[in-house]
Amino acid sequence: MSYTDVARKVNDTIVTRMVDGNIRVENAVLMFRNFGGNPTNFNPNGGKRTFSLCLPKEWADILRQDMWNIKERQLEEGDVIYHTEIVVNENSQFPPKLYLLSEYDGKKTMTLLKPEQYKKLDQDMIVGLDLEIHPFEHGRGTPGSKKGYLKNLWATLQSVNDFGGKYAGYDITNPGI
């Protein structure tokens, strides 16, 4: 997906602040996915699992006023993409839950991913994405001091040649053989 497509698709994103302060995002658009924690220019040693959540302008402004670190990417076409880094911390006291949803021949499956499976989300063709973010303030009152930590994620995969639904009803015996 091009940056221009991202800028247009983010208009369908619905952001809600919950009573507990968490942020709920429906039809989320992501960039720079690194669920696997691979080494990158911004994560040279690897291990840090992150992604950038694209935001509608009004929510980018709201979160910026609330001391979130919101970045802008100006496009040649005149569009602007607003985004913030979200951390996936599987080692926290309350680790996130990442669900992968797929469908085959009318049978729908939902799989709770283990941390070693998170990297699947880096390559998979995701057609629907909803998530919950928990804000955490790192430096009291300093601009850009709030960062989002993933709480829950539901990723719907594009149906291509996925056999997941066909075999979902089978129990796995002797896993690891």
Per-residue pLDDT of 113-135, as tens digits, reads 999 999 989 987 888 999 999 99
pLDDT in tens, 60-81: 999 999 888 899 988 887 888 9
Residue 165 and residue 109 in contact, taking contact as beta carbons nearer than 8 Å: yes
pTM of the shown model: 0.83
Three-class SS state of 175: coil
Domain boundaries, the chain: 3-167
Measured CA to CA, the distance from residue 154 to residue 97 in angstroms comes to 9
Tell me whether strands 23-26 and 29-34 are parallel, antiparallel or unpaired: unpaired
pLDDT of the residue at 176: 59
Give residue 17's pLDDT band: very low, low, confident or very high (50, 70, 90).
very high
Contacts by 9-18, CB closer than 8 A, 24 or more apart: 9/54, 10/54, 10/55, 10/56, 10/81, 10/82, 11/56, 13/54, 13/55, 13/56, 13/59, 15/55, 15/56, 15/59, 18/132
Measured CA to CA, the distance from residue 34 to residue 43 in angstroms comes to 10
pLDDT of the residue at 164: 57
